Structure 1
């Protein structure tokens, strides 16, 4: 049977025409989708600028559905979910991005960083830690290390915190020596709590070598030496500290006084405390002076030639330097009055009034506490508590 070539002549032009029509249809459909995606994107941007986050999320979801390959839309949508507190949806968006095989290295690192932020904001510290560790060696490395450091400090994992702080210190972008010393002091406190005083002492000396000017290691060393019955060594430790950190004296004045009594060096301690008190009056330093049996000079108008000054007159001398309800209450507690029946009630009222004034206040967040903290329980800041009480600030 012979093949009829006339059909071929007719079919080739027909196939060309049909192919051209199909391509035109695909182009029109693509242009329509591309027009719809930018409209949804710009509509979402407009909602975002008007602080209408719900409508912005809906618009971005529509844009992502029209153009699922656009990474920027996914990042915008994930950030919106995080800002709204919808952390599970933000995690799903960023995990979807990480699951894509066509994602560039830069976008993959960005998605990993965003995922870590989702976990941090959600309070999922274990998952945040794992996500942040994957950012080692990326452009987000230092930021990830800072976040890891905050996690370890918050969860009191001091050994891991010390390792991360050492890496940050090696990066030479800032000094973390004092912070590393705090980590070592915290580890020393844990070791002492377990009964290993030798390990605690070694850690404290390492902390002192790491940050020689920081007062905490020396104070903790002196306290440990006192507990071990070595008052002479404790006194020497604090005597050296008083030269390096005189402003922190109110924090260790009572320890210095105890060490001086145990080492039988009260006169030397008294001379030091009086000298420092004259330069910067403080109730804590004054009480250490009184405990050693010393006094501070009374103002000329209050000197009584018939009665020699007593240590308790130091409270009156302190009131001449600055008004202090704490000093007034301490003085009143030891006085004898004609109407002694009312004294306990008055004293109780004064003690109640002075209690808030004896607190320490964080300079970063304002959190107040009856004891001095090196690490604020409120805002997690280090060295944010001044060595003086609220009344003296």
Structure 2
């Protein structure tokens, strides 16, 4: 029995026609979907430009539903949720991205970084820390480490902060020696006040001085410890080192330096050192310390307080005027207290310190700003002198 090829020849055109028709239907469907998805996407962008976040989110959700494999839309949607404070929804979007097996390495790292930001926004610091650690070895590593450093500082976890700072420095991301010195000073203060371990505290301060010789704080803190222990001579020497390595900090230590010099019997050389510092940079605190030193050496108060007048001749100062006025006799002595109180009231705001980073003002000096948490952002000079 011979096979009849006639049916095959007749069927080929039919099969071809059906295939062509199916392909046209598929192409038409794809074109419809392609037209719909960009419309939703561009509609979302338009809403964003008009600051209509609710409508933008609805448009992006529509676009994601029509094309669930588009990672870029997921990132846009997750970031919108986070900006609106809907951190739970942002977390779900970014966790969904991370669960996808077809996600590229770059997008996986990006999703991990976005997830860490979600946790930070939500205040879930433990989960944020875990997410940030997973960014080691990625292009977001430096940002992650800097964020971890900030987290440890906020929680006052100084050993962990020191570890991250060392890693950043070893990786060539900047000089963190001064920051490490602050961490060691904070640890020393904790050891001293909570455990009374003066030996361990001194060891930490010695390490801080060795690691950051130009830092003023470790020597000032060590001088305070030595003074409390009755070692006025040792404390005085530490402040001498402050003046040598961090001369800008002399106004912060001037008054205490006078008290230590008096106890150690070294007032004459201190007056010379303070005079040298004042000649380089006139300061109301150093001028006040020079007046105190003159009185401590036996000079009459009326003569010693001429130092305030000399300072005002160089730098007009309401603070110096208030201190000079305190011992100035009045023709109408009954008005002295009233005038003195008024001048001191006017001078008090000028005697504050101001953060150069955020403008926070305070009566006392802080090594870390209570407002913005920046380190050494307070110039060691009063507002009046800035």
Q: Same fold (TM over 0.5)?
A: yes
Moved more, 13-22 or 186-195: 13-22
Gaps of 5+ in 1: 1-5, 296-306
How far residue 54 of structure 1 moved from its aligned partner, in angstroms, is 2.7
Q: In the alignment, which residue of structure 2 is the partner of 1:176?
A: 176
Hey, what's the Cα distance between the residues in 2 that align with 1:349 and 1:121?
Answer: 47
Hey, what's the Cα distance between the residues in 2 that align with 1:147 and 1:308?
Answer: 54
Q: In the alignment, which residue of structure 2 is the partner of 1:301?
A: none
Q: In the alignment, which residue of structure 2 is the partner of 1:148?
A: 148
Verify the 8 A CA contact 2:44 2:56 in the aligned structure 1: yes
How far residue 125 of structure 1 moved from its aligned partner, in angstroms, is 2.2
Hey, what's the Cα distance between the residues in 2 that align with 1:162 and 1:120?
Answer: 21
Which of 375, 379, 382 in structure 2 is aligned with 1:386?
Answer: 379
Moved more, 12-21 or 54-63: 12-21
Cα offsets for 1:354-377 (capped at 9, x unmatched): 111111000111000111111111
Hey, what's the Cα distance between the residues in 2 that align with 1:86 and 1:339?
Answer: 69
- Residue 251 (str. 1) matches residue 252 (str. 2): yes
Matches within 5 A, 1:218-297: 218-293=219-294
Verify the 8 A CA contact 1:270 1:294 in the aligned structure 2: no
Cα offsets for 1:181-228 (capped at 9, x unmatched): 111111111111121111111111111111111111111111111111
Verify the 8 A CA contact 1:169 1:175 in the aligned structure 2: yes
Hey, what's the Cα distance between the residues in 2 that align with 1:104 and 1:372?
Answer: 51
Q: In the alignment, which residue of structure 1 is the partner of 2:316?
A: 323
**TM-score (normalised: structure 1):** 0.89
Verify the 8 A CA contact 2:254 2:286 in the aligned structure 1: yes
SS at match of 1:355: helix
Q: In the alignment, which residue of structure 2 is the partner of 1:298?
A: none
Verify the 8 A CA contact 2:302 2:327 in the aligned structure 1: no
Matches within 5 A, 1:296-307: none
Q: In the alignment, which residue of structure 2 is the partner of 1:364?
A: 357
Moved more, 371-380 or 278-287: 278-287
How far residue 336 of structure 1 moved from its aligned partner, in angstroms, is 2.5
Hey, what's the Cα distance between the residues in 1 that align with 2:340 and 2:267?
Answer: 31
Cα offsets for 1:60-86 (capped at 9, x unmatched): 111101001110110111122223333
How far residue 111 of structure 1 moved from its aligned partner, in angstroms, is 0.2
How far residue 16 of structure 1 moved from its aligned partner, in angstroms, is 8.0
Hey, what's the Cα distance between the residues in 2 that align with 1:367 and 1:124?
Answer: 28
Hey, what's the Cα distance between the residues in 1 that align with 2:172 and 2:9?
Answer: 78
Hey, what's the Cα distance between the residues in 1 that align with 2:149 and 2:248?
Answer: 29
Hey, what's the Cα distance between the residues in 2 that align with 1:262 and 1:63?
Answer: 78
Hey, what's the Cα distance between the residues in 1 that align with 2:53 and 2:26?
Answer: 34
Which of 319, 336, 341 in structure 2 is aligned with 1:343?
Answer: 336
Cα offsets for 1:302-323 (capped at 9, x unmatched): xxxxx99611121122111111
- Residue 311 (str. 1) matches residue 304 (str. 2): yes
Moved more, 271-280 or 137-146: 271-280
Q: In the alignment, which residue of structure 2 is the partner of 1:89?
A: 89
Hey, what's the Cα distance between the residues in 2 that align with 1:133 and 1:16?
Answer: 58
Hey, what's the Cα distance between the residues in 2 that align with 1:190 and 1:322?
Answer: 40
Matches within 5 A, 1:190-229: 190-194=190-194, 195-229=196-230
Hey, what's the Cα distance between the residues in 2 that align with 1:243 and 1:23?
Answer: 85
Q: In the alignment, which residue of structure 1 is the partner of 2:137?
A: 137
SS at match of 1:172: coil
- Residue 352 (str. 1) matches residue 345 (str. 2): yes
Matches within 5 A, 1:97-108: 97-108=97-108
How far residue 138 of structure 1 moved from its aligned partner, in angstroms, is 1.3
Gaps of 5+ in 2: 1-5
Verify the 8 A CA contact 1:223 1:255 in the aligned structure 2: no
Cα offsets for 1:129-184 (capped at 9, x unmatched): 12111111211111100011011112211111111000000011211111111111
How far residue 285 of structure 1 moved from its aligned partner, in angstroms, is 1.1
SS at match of 2:294: coil
